Amino acid sequence: MEELKKAVEMHQQGNLREAANICRQVLEQEPDNVNAMHLLGIMEQENGQSQAAIDLFTRALEKNPEDPILYNNLAATFMSLGELEQAEKQLQKALDIDGTQAESYSNLGRLQYRLGKLDDAEKNLQLALRVRPDYPLALNTRGLVELRQGKVEQAIKTLKKSIEVDPDIPDSHLSLGKALQRQDAPGLAIQCFENALELQGDYLEAQIALAGAQMQACLMDAASATLRKALKHNPNRPEPSVAVGDLFRIQGNFSEALQRYERAVRLQPSFAEGYLAAAELLREIGETMEASALLRDAVRLAPDQIDAQTMLAECLIEEGDTDTAASHVVTALEFEPLHALANVAHARISAARGATDQGLKQLEALLKHALARGDRTAALMARAQLLDSQGEHAAAFEAARQGNEQLRGESPRPLAPETRPLDEETLLRLREWAAAEPFEEYPEPPDDGRPEARVMVDFPFSGGDVVRRLLNEQKKLHLFRLGGTLDGLWREFVADPEQLQRLKFVGATQESRQRRQYWRTIRQHLPQGIEQEKVIDWTGLRGPLVGPLHRFFPQMKVLFLLRDPRDVVLDAFMNNRRWHPLMPMFIDVETAARSYADYMDTVCAYRDRLPDMFHTIQFEQFLKDPQQGLSTAGEWLGYEELSIDKDLMPVIDRARKQSSRWQNYAEQLQPAADILAPLVERFGYGD
């Protein structure tokens, strides 16, 4: 029919409106014209009108139920709607009609890959390639299946073959780049993603992947430029917002990162990756309960989101709910049997259930595979924890040493100057300033109606995670970390040695402005129903900035966490991980000890000069009577009596078991002994 030939030509030329009009005219004259229904259905699908496309394909199949191509297109439409099981049925029907269709086998294999049915996917992709050995789409999907099966080197070979067959398919370059990232080769991955974008300049997934690889390679300016392009062309898509949040997060700007993640969820409430990203950040700063709630949303929206399933399992393990954690790990492993972190979580569950030997065997089996460096570190650190629980301390320390050795030579992702851990020179400058500053001459705070700051300061692994969790459980009390609350202070005063000396000359106008800016930053993320007076601003490695902050809040209150320095350093070394900004600080026990000593000497310089500003919580004493410790801290802060939820007692019990653990590693900690000795004596932990 001439009209349909013209419609096909128009469609091929990209003139969808004219082609669709011709098809509708044909159907007015011939309502049962299958070809017109089929072509119009294809165009409706391309225009995002999925339901209209389904109606047209279904009508066409009623007239011609033996057309496998119609079933393929109907399956593709169901896939676009996320109705994967319905799509699988349509593809099976296509193959029942014609078992020689490579496209049908390939589509079914790709669908089963998305469903986590890796064995079925592999079988159907082999059938597709048996019919058509050089079918690039089947090769691409087969490479993805192999990647998920942990066969990284084989996946790279398969994906390279796919590109050799047809170098003009953007998806193949994207898939190869992702595989190369798994091999810790971000430079090669960047080239693959750039190749994909040369073929399709507006390919959003490739832009996001390119930015991720650039971050992995520490090319932050390049990543920022890539994301600006993505945002320019996709201002209402959630993916760029999450990627920009990731960029802020790895630079240590948590407040900006959280804003971006929240924006992504507002743009698309069903976007599971937005919930996952926000949860990962919250978990990193110790807000485990909020993270768990977001992860439950993520797995509800996308059960195939392996990272969300795994992270939720990790949170549940920490809460002592190993049964529910196991169900999430099983789901994750169904989709990717060799997912490293899911297997690590599985081993931890075995150990928590009393089967530590089984957990160690699971980790040993995992470590036999070719893992990315960060995944291998995670497995080795988990092995160290399990060996420690069995009393095999020398073997545990060796496993942790091997894990840290995997990280040696790596560069952590660079942080913005105002958010990175303070360097040794800056800490020394702050100590000298604290010794000489005339704090007693500071004026009274202005009567501006703003409350005084309440800050919690704790070096990593000093017990702050437990205390923060107990505080976060209190009604109408909010404790969080916002890098932005102290960053303005850093930029304006601490980064410049001369400006630091001028703090005492700050006038009333500037003083009021700093106070106003501090609370404005906090209010941006203050949950509804929480008053400013109920806020505790937690800061970890930015803790030494509380001294300069005192200039603007002279009546501020600081909760200061202490723990045996030897336990702190041991835990820091045995819990190190890739890409974390603290990674170089904890690469060996001597480096960890020096980092800890510099930090604590600086904060203690303030405590010596301003004792009324500090309430010190000695973690070991706190664990003996946590209710009393929490109540005392609450009274000092000016809050009503605080109480401990009985559901949190397992968290406290686990922390108690870690007290004085350093004694099992006295020989291994010997390189740090002289560095820590003054602090051990000063804090009352001497023998």
- pLDDT computed for residue 487 by the predictor: 55
- pLDDT computed for residue 529 by the predictor: 65
The highest-level CATH class for domain 1-64 is: mainly alpha
CA-to-CA distance for 519 and 517, rounded, in angstroms?
A: 6
Residue 30 in tokens? 């011939």
- pLDDT computed for residue 410 by the predictor: 60
Residue 295 in tokens? 């992860």
- pLDDT computed for residue 463 by the predictor: 86
* Secondary structure of 571-638 as H, E, C letters: HHHHCCCCCCCCHHHHCCHHHHHHHHHHHHHHHHHHHHHCHHHEEEEEHHHHHHCHHHHHHHHHHHHC
The highest-level CATH class for domain 424-682 is: alpha beta
The highest-level CATH class for domain 323-407 is: mainly alpha
CA-to-CA distance for 279 and 330, rounded, in angstroms?
A: 21
- pLDDT tens digits for 32-89? 899 899 988 988 888 878 888 999 999 999 988 988 889 888 988 888 887 888 888 8
- pLDDT computed for residue 638 by the predictor: 83
- pLDDT computed for residue 149 by the predictor: 87
CA-to-CA distance for 231 and 223, rounded, in angstroms?
A: 12
CA-to-CA distance for 598 and 430, rounded, in angstroms?
A: 11
- pLDDT computed for residue 670 by the predictor: 96
Domain 87-166 has CATH 1.25.40.10: yes
Q: Is the dihedral of CA 108, 112, 118, 119 positive or negative?
A: negative
CA-to-CA distance for 335 and 119, rounded, in angstroms?
A: 11
- pLDDT computed for residue 661 by the predictor: 92
- pLDDT computed for residue 217 by the predictor: 82
Residues of the chain with CATH 1.25.40.10: 1-64, 87-166, 170-235, 323-407
Counted residue by residue, the chain has a size of 687
Radius of gyration (C-alpha) of the chain in whole angstroms? 29
Residues of the chain with CATH 3.40.50.300: 424-682
Any residues with CB less than 8 A from the CB of 350 and at least 6 apart, and which? 356, 358, 359, 362
Provide the angle, in degrees to the nearest 10, between the axes of the packed helices 589-609 and 565-574. Answer: 140
Report the b/e string of 78-116 with b at 16+ CB within 10 A.
Answer: bbeeebeeebbebbebbbeeeeebbbbbbbbbbbbbbbb
The rounded average pLDDT for each run of 10 residues, N- to C-terminus, in the chain (687 residues) is 81 83 89 89 85 90 89 87 85 87 89 88 94 94 92 94 96 95 88 96 94 88 94 93 91 80 94 94 76 94 93 88 94 90 94 93 91 85 93 95 80 53 81 85 74 81 84 72 56 67 76 80 69 74 80 86 94 73 79 92 92 93 92 86 81 86 95 95 87
Residue listed under structure tokens 């400006």 = 499
Q: Which of 535, 555, 559, 578 is nearest to 632 (CA)?
A: 559
CATH of 170-235, one of 1.25.40.10, 3.40.50.1820, 1.10.1740.10, 1.10.10.1100: 1.25.40.10
- pLDDT computed for residue 492 by the predictor: 65
